[in-house]
Amino acid sequence: RRLGRNDEPWLIQVIARLRIVEAHFSLVSERSIKQIDLLQMSVKLAGTEIDALFLGHEEVGPGNFEEVIITCEAKRGRDDILEDQILRQAKAPFSMPQITQKRVIPIAVKCVAPSTIYVVEFEELTRTNYAAANSITTSCDSLFEIKPPVPGICS
Protein backbone atom coordinates (compact mmCIF):
# COMPACT_ATOMS: atom_id res chain seq x y z
CA ARG A 1 0.00 0.00 0.00
CA ARG A 2 2.79 2.43 0.83
CA LEU A 3 4.18 2.17 -2.69
CA GLY A 4 0.83 2.86 -4.39
CA ARG A 5 1.11 4.56 -7.77
CA ASN A 6 -1.41 6.00 -10.19
CA ASP A 7 -0.56 3.73 -13.13
CA GLU A 8 -1.93 0.65 -14.88
CA PRO A 9 0.59 -1.90 -13.50
CA TRP A 10 -0.36 -0.85 -9.94
CA LEU A 11 -4.06 -1.19 -10.78
CA ILE A 12 -3.44 -4.72 -12.11
CA GLN A 13 -1.41 -5.58 -9.01
CA VAL A 14 -4.23 -4.38 -6.75
CA ILE A 15 -6.99 -6.24 -8.62
CA ALA A 16 -4.88 -9.41 -8.59
CA ARG A 17 -3.98 -9.22 -4.89
CA LEU A 18 -7.52 -8.31 -3.81
CA ARG A 19 -9.07 -10.85 -6.20
CA ILE A 20 -11.35 -8.31 -7.85
CA VAL A 21 -11.61 -10.36 -11.06
CA GLU A 22 -12.55 -13.46 -9.06
CA ALA A 23 -15.15 -11.46 -7.10
CA HIS A 24 -16.68 -10.12 -10.32
CA PHE A 25 -17.02 -13.58 -11.86
CA SER A 26 -18.34 -15.04 -8.59
CA LEU A 27 -20.86 -12.35 -7.71
CA VAL A 28 -21.94 -10.66 -10.94
CA SER A 29 -21.17 -12.71 -14.04
CA GLU A 30 -23.62 -15.29 -15.32
CA ARG A 31 -20.66 -17.56 -16.11
CA SER A 32 -19.85 -20.53 -13.92
CA ILE A 33 -16.14 -19.84 -13.49
CA LYS A 34 -14.87 -21.69 -10.44
CA GLN A 35 -11.16 -20.73 -10.42
CA ILE A 36 -9.07 -17.91 -11.89
CA ASP A 37 -5.28 -17.69 -11.96
CA LEU A 38 -3.15 -14.73 -13.04
CA LEU A 39 -0.84 -15.98 -15.80
CA GLN A 40 1.09 -12.88 -16.78
CA MET A 41 1.08 -9.11 -16.61
CA SER A 42 2.02 -6.78 -19.47
CA VAL A 43 1.91 -9.16 -22.43
CA LYS A 44 3.44 -7.26 -25.35
CA LEU A 45 2.46 -8.51 -28.79
CA ALA A 46 2.67 -7.16 -32.30
CA GLY A 47 -0.29 -4.80 -32.65
CA THR A 48 -1.48 -4.85 -29.03
CA GLU A 49 -0.54 -5.13 -25.38
CA ILE A 50 -2.59 -7.08 -22.85
CA ASP A 51 -2.28 -5.62 -19.35
CA ALA A 52 -3.04 -8.97 -17.69
CA LEU A 53 -3.77 -12.49 -18.83
CA PHE A 54 -5.78 -14.85 -16.59
CA LEU A 55 -6.71 -18.52 -16.89
CA GLY A 56 -10.24 -19.39 -15.85
CA HIS A 57 -11.78 -22.79 -15.20
CA GLU A 58 -15.43 -22.72 -16.20
CA GLU A 59 -17.92 -25.43 -15.35
CA VAL A 60 -19.63 -26.25 -18.65
CA GLY A 61 -21.60 -29.20 -17.29
CA PRO A 62 -21.94 -31.02 -13.97
CA GLY A 63 -18.35 -31.79 -12.95
CA ASN A 64 -17.08 -30.89 -16.43
CA PHE A 65 -14.63 -27.98 -16.62
CA GLU A 66 -13.09 -26.13 -19.56
CA GLU A 67 -10.22 -23.67 -19.50
CA VAL A 68 -10.87 -20.16 -20.79
CA ILE A 69 -8.45 -17.27 -21.27
CA ILE A 70 -9.41 -13.92 -19.72
CA THR A 71 -7.73 -10.84 -21.18
CA CYS A 72 -7.72 -7.70 -19.07
CA GLU A 73 -7.25 -4.07 -20.09
CA ALA A 74 -6.54 -1.61 -17.26
CA LYS A 75 -7.46 2.07 -17.51
CA ARG A 76 -6.66 4.99 -15.29
CA GLY A 77 -9.44 7.43 -14.38
CA ARG A 78 -8.99 9.80 -17.29
CA ASP A 79 -8.58 7.09 -19.96
CA ASP A 80 -11.51 5.66 -21.91
CA ILE A 81 -12.24 1.98 -22.47
CA LEU A 82 -11.92 1.58 -26.25
CA GLU A 83 -13.87 -1.13 -28.05
CA ASP A 84 -11.29 -1.64 -30.81
CA GLN A 85 -8.50 -2.05 -28.23
CA ILE A 86 -10.51 -4.64 -26.26
CA LEU A 87 -11.32 -6.51 -29.48
CA ARG A 88 -7.64 -6.61 -30.55
CA GLN A 89 -6.67 -7.94 -27.14
CA ALA A 90 -9.39 -10.60 -27.23
CA LYS A 91 -8.22 -11.81 -30.64
CA ALA A 92 -4.51 -11.81 -29.79
CA PRO A 93 -4.33 -15.02 -27.69
CA PHE A 94 -5.58 -17.08 -30.62
CA SER A 95 -2.35 -16.26 -32.49
CA MET A 96 -0.12 -17.24 -29.56
CA PRO A 97 1.16 -20.80 -30.11
CA GLN A 98 1.28 -21.60 -26.39
CA ILE A 99 -2.42 -20.74 -25.96
CA THR A 100 -4.57 -23.75 -26.82
CA GLN A 101 -7.81 -22.76 -25.14
CA LYS A 102 -10.85 -22.40 -27.39
CA ARG A 103 -12.41 -19.31 -25.77
CA VAL A 104 -11.36 -15.83 -24.64
CA ILE A 105 -13.36 -13.59 -22.31
CA PRO A 106 -12.21 -9.96 -22.49
CA ILE A 107 -12.60 -7.68 -19.49
CA ALA A 108 -11.59 -4.13 -18.68
CA VAL A 109 -10.92 -2.58 -15.28
CA LYS A 110 -10.89 1.13 -14.64
CA CYS A 111 -10.49 3.24 -11.54
CA VAL A 112 -13.43 5.64 -11.52
CA ALA A 113 -13.08 7.33 -8.11
CA PRO A 114 -10.67 7.10 -5.21
CA SER A 115 -10.30 3.38 -4.38
CA THR A 116 -13.22 2.48 -6.65
CA ILE A 117 -12.79 0.05 -9.54
CA TYR A 118 -15.21 -0.52 -12.40
CA VAL A 119 -15.10 -3.96 -14.07
CA VAL A 120 -16.74 -4.61 -17.41
CA GLU A 121 -17.02 -8.10 -18.90
CA PHE A 122 -17.56 -8.59 -22.62
CA GLU A 123 -19.03 -11.48 -24.60
CA GLU A 124 -16.52 -14.23 -25.34
CA LEU A 125 -14.74 -14.88 -28.59
CA THR A 126 -14.09 -18.42 -29.77
CA ARG A 127 -11.47 -19.95 -31.99
CA THR A 128 -14.14 -20.45 -34.64
CA ASN A 129 -15.58 -16.91 -34.64
CA TYR A 130 -12.79 -14.52 -33.59
CA ALA A 131 -11.39 -13.80 -37.07
CA ALA A 132 -14.72 -12.48 -38.36
CA ALA A 133 -15.54 -10.47 -35.22
CA ASN A 134 -15.53 -6.71 -35.82
CA SER A 135 -17.26 -5.58 -32.63
CA ILE A 136 -17.60 -6.66 -29.04
CA THR A 137 -20.63 -6.59 -26.74
CA THR A 138 -20.78 -5.86 -23.03
CA SER A 139 -22.01 -8.82 -21.02
CA CYS A 140 -22.14 -7.34 -17.50
CA ASP A 141 -20.34 -4.91 -15.23
CA SER A 142 -19.62 -4.29 -11.56
CA LEU A 143 -18.24 -1.67 -9.21
CA PHE A 144 -15.90 -2.35 -6.27
CA GLU A 145 -15.05 0.14 -3.55
CA ILE A 146 -11.90 -0.78 -1.66
CA LYS A 147 -11.90 -0.09 2.09
CA PRO A 148 -9.64 1.00 3.57
CA PRO A 149 -8.59 3.07 0.54
CA VAL A 150 -5.60 1.99 -1.54
CA PRO A 151 -3.20 4.81 -2.49
CA GLY A 152 -2.85 5.29 -6.24
CA ILE A 153 -6.28 3.96 -7.18
CA CYS A 154 -7.66 7.21 -8.67
CA SER A 155 -6.04 9.29 -5.97
Residues of the chain with pLDDT under 50: 1
Q: What is the pLDDT of residue 4?
A: 56
Q: pTM here?
A: 0.93
Q: Is 33 exposed, middle or buried (0-12, 13-18, 19+ CB in 10 A)?
A: buried
Q: What is the pLDDT of residue 53?
A: 96
Question: Which helix (H) or strand (E) segment is 32 a member of?
Answer: none
Q: What is the pLDDT of residue 155?
A: 73
Q: What is the pLDDT of residue 117?
A: 95
Q: Is 134 exposed, middle or buried (0-12, 13-18, 19+ CB in 10 A)?
A: exposed
Q: What is the pLDDT of residue 2?
A: 53
What digits encode the pLDDT tens for the residues 92-116? 999 999 999 999 999 999 999 999 9
Q: Note whether 22 and 36 are within 8 A (CB).
A: yes
Q: What is the pLDDT of residue 1?
A: 47
